[in-house]
Structure 1
Amino acid sequence: MPVSPAYRPDPRFFDLGPDYSDAVKAADFPQTILRFRNDRAAAEVGLETLTDAEWIAAFGRFDPLPGQPGPVAMRYHGHQFRQYNSDLGDGRGFLAAQMRETPQAAALRERGDRPRLMDLGTKGSGRTPWSRDGDGRLTLKGGVREVLAAAMLEAQGVPTSRALSLIETGEALERGDEPSPTRSAVLVRLSHSHVRFGTFQRAAYLNRPDQIETLIEHVRSLYHPDVAPGDVPGLMRAITAASARLTARWIAAGFVHGVLNTDNLNVTGESFDYGPWRFLPYYDPAFTAAYFDHGGLYAFARQPEAVFWNLTQLASCLAVVSEPKLLADALNGFGPAYIRELRAAFLMRLGVHSLGEAADQRLVDATLALLREGGEAMRWEPLFFDWFGGFASSARALSGPRAKLYQGEAFDAFRFALMEHEPDRIERLEHPMFAAREPEEMLIDEVETIWSAIAADDDWSPLNAKLARLEATRTAWRFDT
C-alpha cells in the first residue's frame, strides 16, 4: 500500500499484550461506499497519498497498514452516569493502528515540537468480545454527526479527535432512537490516545497493581514525557492540567459533550467519541445534550464538576501504587487550572491579548453576564464572532444584525472590559469570513436538515458545503490546540 515517505508506524499499545486488549477482525460489510475522507488530517500521519480504492481497503475492509499488527479491541471499565460498569470495553470499535505525526504537523501545533503518537480508532467496525448484546455497528447518521462535531470543535480551538474517514456499509440497522431501519457506516477517527480513565479502572478492579504500573509508564513515556519516570503524582498533575484545559475550551465553545463517563475521558485531555452532543443556542447552564440525562448530570455548566469527579476516580486507581495525599494535592490543582484555562479560552475566542489575571477575569465575567442578560436573543456563537478582535470590531458589531442587542448596563460593562484588551493578530479580521453577517454555528436544527437531505435524497451537498464553510472558519480563527 503506497503510503507516503512520512508515514511512520509505531504500534506501541499493541506491545502491552493480551491483558489490555483482544485481537479482533472487522466485520465483512456488504458495501463500502466512501462518503468522507479527511486528507488534511491524513497528511499529518502520511496517509494522504492513498487512492480511494486503497483508502476503502484500509478503512472499510481494514486491510492492515504497513507495519501494523492488526486491530485490537481495548479493555476498560468505567463509571456510566456514576454507576460502575465492569462489562465495558471496545464493543463496536477497535484500535486499528498507531503511527507518529509528521514533523511538519508537530511544528504547527501550539507548544508542539515532538511528533506525537497518534491512533486510528474505529466506530461501527463490528462485534468484539465486549459487544454484549450490541451489533457492533454505527448508524450513518451517527457517523455524520461525529464528522460535524469534530470539524466544529477543531475550528473553535478545542483539543479534539478528527474524523478521518466515513464509509457507508450497506446494512439496515434497527435503533430505538432513530427511524428504523436506518443506514450503517464505519467511522475512523485520528486522535492522540484512546487510553481512558477506565483503562486504569479495570486494572484496579482486578487488583492488578502490576498492570497499573505498566499503564503509568506507558502513558508517562508516550504522552507526558516531561514527567519524570516514577513520578506518579506528576503524571496525575499532567492529566489534571490537560483535562482542565479541555473542559475550559468546551465551555468557551458552548459545547455539551453529553456523556462524560470515565470511559469517555482520556489521558491526553483530548475530546472524542461524540454521541448525543449539542452546542448551546444561547447561554443556559442547565442545557443538556443526551435525552436520557434526566437529572442533568452532564449539563453544560456541570461539565467541570463531571470532569473533576472522573479525575478523582483516576486518582483512586493510581493510589494503589502511589501516595494518596500527593495524588490528592495533584487532583486539587484542577480548580485553579480550570479558572486559568477558562480565562485563556475566552480571550482566545474573543481574539484579544491577556492583560493580567484581574482584567482577564473581568472580561470573562462581563461576557457571561452579557450572554445571561441577553437571553435567547443573544446567541452564543454570534457574540464571539461579532466582537472578535476586541474593540477593533466595534463598527462591524454595532452595524450588524445584532446591533440592537448591544446596549444597556451589561453591554457597557462588557465593552469596557473588552476595550482594556489589545487585539491578538488583528490581521485575522481581514479574512473574508468576518465580512459575513452570520458565523457558522452547529445547532441541532441545521444538523437535522443536513441529515434529512442524505436520508431522503442521498444528497450529500449540504454536508460537504457545511464542512467547506467550517474549514474556512478554522482558517479564519487560526486557533491553536
Structure 2
Amino acid sequence: MTAATEIAFENTFVRDLEGLYQPWDAAPAPEPRLVLLNEALAHQLGLDPAVLRTPEGLGLLTGTAVPESATTVAQAYAGHQFGNYSPRLGDGRALLVGELVAPDGQRRDLHLKGSGRTPFARGGDGKAPLGPMLREYVISEAMHALGVPTTRSLAVVATGEHVMRERGPEPGALLARTASSHLRVGTFQFAAATGDTDVLRRLADHAIARHHPSCAGTDQPYLELFRRVVEAQAALIAQWMHIGFVHGVMNTDNMTISGETIDYGPCAFLDAHDPGAVYSSIDQGGRYAYGNQPGIAQWNLARFGEALLPLLADDQDEAIRLATEVLEGFADRYLAARDDGYRVKLGLPEGFDAKPVLEDLATLLAQQKPDHTLFFRRLASAARGDEGPVRALFDDPSTADDWLASWRAAGPDADAMDRVNPIYVPRNHLVESALGAAVADGDLEPLQWLLQVLAHPYEERAGYERFAQPAGPDAPPFTTFCGT
C-alpha cells in the first residue's frame, strides 16, 4: 500500500507557466473529517481509497500535508464577471496541488476548493461551507453520469471549524476535485494583460500540449487552438441545453479551455422548461438565464479570441479577421450539435430533416412550459402508442396534439430515446433537502441515496419514483447562492 506521502505528482503548470501562479500553502484544518470519498474516481486516478482515509490521506485532501512531489499554488486569472472586466481574480480560496497521471495515461489536476485565503482573495475568508461543497460534489458527479464533460469530485472533507455566512456560522469544508486542467478563458485574459507575448505564447503552448496536441503540427497552431476550444464549447453548451442545465455564473473565468463544465455554485436544473429561467441570487438581470447560455458562450469566446490576437498575426487587423472567422463558426457548430442532439432525444432517424419538428417543439415548450426532463422521458411512451403520460404535463393537453402527431409520423425509436433521455437529474428540491439533512443534522443517508440514483440516470427503477418528480406547484421559487 502506497502512503499518501509517496503519491507521485507532476507539475507541468508550475514548470511551464511562471508568472501565472503564486506558491501558497493551505490553511490549517483543525479537525479534518472525511464526509464523502469517491472511491471509483480514486481508483481511476490510481489512488488507494484506504490511503485517502488515513490521517496522511486527509492531509493531502486538505492540502495541509502534501507529498514532496506536489507544489501547491494559487492560479492567476482575470475575467469578465457579469460583463465587467476584473484584471486580477485568481484562486482566492483554492489551490492546485499538482497533476496525477492516471493508469490510463490521462493527466488530471488535483485542486482544493475552500483551502483558505490566497494572495488572490478578494475580501473573503478563503473558506467554504459544507453545503456548497457537497452540492458541487453531487452536481458534478451527476453531470459525469449524464455524459457531460465536467470537473469531478474526489472528496469532501469537513475542517472542524465554522465559517460565517449571511445565515450565521456554518460547518467548514474543502472539496478535492479533478479536471483535465483548470486553464480558463480568464487565464488567457490575465496572460494577455501582462503585455508580455512570451507569457501568452507559453500559456498557449501549454494548453495545446495539454488538450489539443494535434494543433502543434498545423500552419497556425494558435488559431487552431482557438478553433478547437470554440468547437468544444459549442458541443458542451448544446449538452447543457439538452438536459436543462443552468450554469448560473458563466463568467469568462468559469469557461475552460478543455471544454469541461467547471464551478457549480449557483447552478440548477430546469423543472418547467423556461428559456428565461434564472436561479442565481446574484443574477438580477437574467444575464445567465437558461436560454441565454449559447449567446453568452459565444461572447466569452470572443474574449478568448481577443486575448489570442498577438499570437495570430503580426498585423492586428489580420489577426482580428482570422479570429472573427473562427468565432463566427460557433453558431453553426452549436446549432448543429443542438439539433442533432434533439433529433436523437426525439428518436428520429439519422438523416431525417428534423428542422420543422424542432422549430415547432421549441415554440411549444417555451409557451406551455412542461417539465423539461419528464417531457423528453415520457415521449418514449408516446412513441410506443401511449400519449397520456406526456399530455398530462400540459395544462391544456390539446396544445401538444398537433406536434405529437407530426412527430409520431416520423416513426421515432422509443428504445433509443430511453438510452439518451434521463429519468433522474439532480432535482433542485431533492438536492436541497439532502444537503439540509447532511449539514443541519449530520445525516448523510438522503445524500447517499441521491448519489446512488443519479449515478444511473437512464435506468428507471421501481421504488425511486419520487426522484423523478418535480417539487410541485406549491413549492417556493428556487434560488441558489455561490457560498462565498
Q: Into which bin does the TM-score normalised by the smaller protein fall?
A: 0.7 to 0.9
**Does 1:340 find its partner at 2:342?**
no
Aligned match of 1:46: 46
Partner Cα separation in structure 2 for residue 163 and residue 98 of structure 1:
15
Partner Cα separation in structure 2 for residue 267 and residue 385 of structure 1:
32
2:214 is paired with a residue whose SS is coil
- What does 1:131-280 correspond to in 2, within 5 Å? 131-176=121-166, 179-229=167-217, 230-280=220-270
Aligned match of 2:85: 84
Output one character per residue of 1:265-288: Cα deviation in whole Å (capped at 9) or x when no partner. Answer: 010111011111111111111111
Output one character per residue of 1:185-227: Cα deviation in whole Å (capped at 9) or x when no partner. Answer: 0001111120011111111111111111111111112101222
Aligned partner (choices 334, 354, 358) of residue 353 of structure 2: 358
Between 1:233-242 and 1:35-44, the stretch displaced more is 35-44
Partner Cα separation in structure 1 for residue 108 and residue 414 of structure 2:
31
Identity %: 29
Aligned match of 2:272: 282
Q: Which runs of 4+ in 1 moved over 6 A?
A: 403-406
Aligned match of 1:314: 304
Output one character per residue of 1:414-453: Cα deviation in whole Å (capped at 9) or x when no partner. Answer: 4533552653864966x9x99xxxx324333222211221
Aligned match of 1:106: none
Aligned partner (choices 358, 376, 381) of residue 384 of structure 1: 376
- What does 1:283-302 correspond to in 2, within 5 Å? 283-302=273-292
Aligned match of 1:471: 455
Aligned partner (choices 363, 366, 372) of residue 372 of structure 1: 366
1:142 is paired with a residue whose SS is helix
Aligned match of 1:452: 436
Partner Cα separation in structure 1 for residue 390 and residue 292 of structure 2:
33
Aligned partner (choices 115, 126, 147) of residue 125 of structure 1: 115
Aligned partner (choices 324, 328, 347) of residue 324 of structure 2: 328
Contact 1:8 1:46 in 2 (8 A): no
Aligned partner (choices 421, 424, 445) of residue 440 of structure 1: 424
Aligned partner (choices 45, 57, 60) of residue 58 of structure 1: 60
Shift of the 310–463 alpha-carbon distance from structure 1 to 2, 3 Å rule, reads same
Shift of the 24–419 alpha-carbon distance from structure 1 to 2, 3 Å rule, reads farther
Taking structure 2 as the reference length, the TM-score comes to 0.85
Contact 1:154 1:474 in 2 (8 A): no
Partner Cα separation in structure 1 for residue 410 and residue 102 of structure 2:
39
Output one character per residue of 1:44-63: Cα deviation in whole Å (capped at 9) or x when no partner. Answer: 22114443115323213443
Aligned-CA RMSD value: 2.8
Shift of the 472–48 alpha-carbon distance from structure 1 to 2, 3 Å rule, reads farther
Shift of 1:455: 3.1
Aligned match of 1:24: 24
Partner Cα separation in structure 2 for residue 421 and residue 124 of structure 1:
51
Partner Cα separation in structure 2 for residue 418 and residue 357 of structure 1:
13
Shift of 1:29: 0.8
Partner Cα separation in structure 2 for residue 425 and residue 47 of structure 1:
38
Write the letter of the residue equivalent to 2:197: P
2:456 is paired with a residue whose SS is helix
Partner Cα separation in structure 2 for residue 88 and residue 257 of structure 1:
19
Aligned match of 2:315: none
Contact 1:258 1:298 in 2 (8 A): yes
Shift of the 82–37 alpha-carbon distance from structure 1 to 2, 3 Å rule, reads same
Contact 1:3 1:50 in 2 (8 A): no
Write the letter of the residue equivalent to 2:60: A
> Which structure 2 residue ranges, 5 or more long, are not aligned?
313-318, 462-484
> Which structure 1 residue ranges, 5 or more long, are not aligned?
104-114
Partner Cα separation in structure 2 for residue 181 and residue 244 of structure 1:
40
Shift of the 33–386 alpha-carbon distance from structure 1 to 2, 3 Å rule, reads same
Shift of 1:373: 4.0
1:120 is paired with a residue whose SS is strand
Alignment: residue pair count: 449
2:273 is paired with a residue whose SS is coil
Output one character per residue of 1:133-181: Cα deviation in whole Å (capped at 9) or x when no partner. Answer: 21111111111111121123223322111111101112211113xx211
Shift of the 35–366 alpha-carbon distance from structure 1 to 2, 3 Å rule, reads farther
1:472 is paired with a residue whose SS is coil
Contact 1:41 1:190 in 2 (8 A): no
Partner Cα separation in structure 2 for residue 95 and residue 16 of structure 1:
14
Output one character per residue of 1:324-358: Cα deviation in whole Å (capped at 9) or x when no partner. Answer: 211111111100000011123324545x3652262
Shift of the 353–161 alpha-carbon distance from structure 1 to 2, 3 Å rule, reads farther
Partner Cα separation in structure 2 for residue 353 and residue 237 of structure 1:
30
Partner Cα separation in structure 2 for residue 404 and residue 317 of structure 1:
47
Shift of 1:183: 1.1
Shift of 1:31: 1.5
Write the letter of the residue equivalent to 1:236: F
2:172 is paired with a residue whose SS is strand
